[in-house]
Amino acid sequence: MYILLSEIEVLGRIYVSYEGINAQISVPEARIQALKTALQTITFLQGIRLNFAIEDDGKSFFKLIIKVRHKIVADGLDDKTFDVTNKGIHLKAEEFNQLSDDPDTIIIDMRNHYESEVGYFKNAILPDVETFREALPEVEKMLENKKEKNIIMYCTGGIRCEKASAYYKHKGFRNVYQVEGGIIEYTRRANELGIENKFIGKNFVFDERLGEKISDDIISKCHQCGSPCDTHVNCANDACHILFIQCPACGSKYENTCSVKCQEFNQLPVDIKIH
């Protein structure tokens, strides 16, 4: 796969597992058809859906990395204890809009708190979790008395919901749905059809962009001064490198670090840092 994709100038991060393949990649626009043709040579990828980015500022990935993993997403589940192929019903954008208007429908964000902090679907429940592994039992507990309701779950590109929807069906939830292709495909299709886009704010993505603006709403705040801001950055102190939200003014004030402590550390001479 590495040789095949390298010849097409593909960059990105790909995880290969017994569960399947999860790829977040960038490719020159002129080579998109070549990519599709190459994927058709891999039997189990024939006809696969590709989610295309909403925004492209040219800095998503800078190299190609392919890793073999036991699981594509760390979920803490024993896949042998339930049918992972018995997944929730996929909803296209127009179907999601219709079902989400039903008062018996509950919308669940299966992402981490720092993702939903900058954007989410209207009326969605946003679990305060750090990881997908934490989200699974937390959501189950939140919905334990609502197993007859319509449960719609969503994530960035749909990968996490493939596993989560099967798990919740195994746990007795009757009407489990997932947004087909996640936020990315939902937005593309909503724009294509000219229908209401019920996602508010920015969609967090796991590449150098760190986000795609879906609506003009800024629903989050700078973690340092509290002003409206939805720009995620990593602390410039490599010994910290924490992900946080920072406005341009605070970026200048703190020299792109998350705190005075990290700012002062970055100002130390290199030899002192090494010691």
Q: What does the alpha-carbon distance between residue 15 and residue 171 come to, in Å, rounded to a whole number? A: 28
User: What would the CATH number be for the domain defined by 79-193?
Assistant: 3.40.250.10
pTM to 2 decimal places: 0.85
Average pLDDT over residues 235-252: 96
Q: Is 155 among the catalytic positions?
A: yes
Q: Is the pLDDT reported for residue 275 higher than 60?
A: no
pLDDT score of 273: 60
Average pLDDT over residues 227-250: 96
Residue type, 117: E
Q: What does the alpha-carbon distance between residue 173 and residue 83 come to, in Å, rounded to a whole number? A: 14
CA angle 115, 119, 124 (to 5 degrees): 95
Task: Sketch the domain layout of the chain as residue ranges.
Answer: 2-68, 79-193, 232-274
pLDDT per position as a tens digit, 73-96: 889 998 899 999 999 999 999 999
Strand (E) or helix (H) holding 24:
strand 20-26
CB 197 within 8 A of CB 94: no
**Count of Cβ atoms closer than 10 Å to residue 219 Cβ:** 15
Share of the chain above pLDDT 90, in %: 77
Residue type, 163: K
User: Lowest-confidence range among 54-58, 116-120, 208-212?
Assistant: 54-58
Give me the chain's average pLDDT, please: 92
| Whole-number CA gyration radius for the chain | 20
Q: Token pair of 198, please?
A: 């019920």
State the catalytic residue, choosing from 155, 229, 247, 262: 155
What is the full DSSP assignment across 213-255? E-SS----B-TTT--B---EEE-S-TTT--EEE--HHHHHHTT
Q: Token pair of 202, please?
A: 């920015």
pLDDT score of 53: 80
Using DSSP's 3-state secondary structure scheme, residue 56 falls into coil
Closest to 161 measured CA to CA, from 143, 139, 141: 139
Strand (E) or helix (H) holding 6:
helix 2-6
Q: Is the pLDDT reported for residue 29 higher than 60?
A: yes
